[in-house]
Amino acid sequence: MRGGFRHGAAGKWAFRRLGGDGMDQGTRILIADDHPLVRGALREAVAGAVSGADIVECGDLEQLTAALDKSDHADLVLLDLAMPGVRGFSGLLYLRAQHPDVPVVVVSGNEDREVIRRCIDFGAAGYVPKTTDIAGMRQAIRDILDGKTWTPPDVDLSTPADKDTADILRRLASLTPQQVRVLMMLSEGLLNKQIAYELTVSEATVKAHVSAILQKLDVDSRTQAVIAVSKIEGQWQGGKAKE
């Protein structure tokens, strides 16, 4: 049965790839982490959780996006928050904008509860700390494939984010994939001509993206846009030492 995941009204992912015998059919899972040993451990967890899964390993965001772009389907992405091409929440933001139908599970060494909460707010289907044992990882993967949102049991998702943070999250989530990429580069201090070169577009196109970003974030300058992002990224940076 051809299928994948769908995002329902309740904000859950529903897995729809089961054969008549109840076995998983053609499930494709992408693992994105720059450490081969970690990818190996995640591959073992996935193989034990989903029989016969097609597992693709990627070492950076560029490889991951290329794998997603050239495939006719993907059922799940396991994403590290700290690898080449990813800065804090930027990789998650980009994937949710570029591939909204593909659920993303963050697998990270950062165990800060606010970071976990922000990832779920940004649309992650789950958050699995790298300290989770292999049995726990397998159970987490199964739960997510069953349509549940998985986080460590002591993470409280019931309390809403404060008003200012919720507003920034909402505005960031409204950006298009290309706008997310431009904002990531603005945060790195790149000039318009440098961004244009990296994205192989004209400077006029970059300026149009910047104008749209400022409007969506309700700010007046590039500096204010970067500051708005830093308010969210600061929570990531605060727990980064735990990576």
Q: Is the pLDDT of residue 202 over 90?
A: yes
Q: What pLDDT does residue 19 have?
A: 41
**How far, in Å, are 28, 43, 90, 175, 225 from residue 179 at the CA level?**
28, 32, 11, 6, 12
CATH of domain 5-145: 3.40.50.2300
Q: What pLDDT does residue 96 have?
A: 87
CB atoms within 10 A of CB 5: 22
Alpha-carbon distance of 236 to 205, in angstroms, equals: 30
Structure tokens belonging to residue 242: 């735990």
The string of pLDDT tens digits covering residues 203-228 is: 999 999 999 999 999 999 999 998 88
CB 179 within 8 A of CB 209: yes
Q: What pLDDT does residue 184 have?
A: 85
Alpha-carbon distance of 94 to 184, in angstroms, equals: 9
Most confident of 15-24, 43-52, 91-100: 43-52
Residues 35, 54, 119, 34: what is their CA dihedral angle, to the nearest 10 degrees?
10
Q: Is the pLDDT of residue 63 over 90?
A: yes
Average pLDDT of the chain?
82
pTM over cut 0.75: yes
According to the 3-state scheme, what is the secondary structure of 139-154? HHHHHHHCCCCECCCC
Residue ranges of the domains in the chain? 5-145, 163-242
Q: What pLDDT does residue 238 have?
A: 46
The string of pLDDT tens digits covering residues 134-154 is: 999 999 999 998 888 999 988
The string of pLDDT tens digits covering residues 8-39 is: 323 444 444 444 333 445 789 999 999 999 99
Q: What pLDDT does residue 234 have?
A: 53
Structure tokens belonging to residue 61: 């965001």
- CATH architecture of the domain 163-242 equals Orthogonal Bundle (1.10)
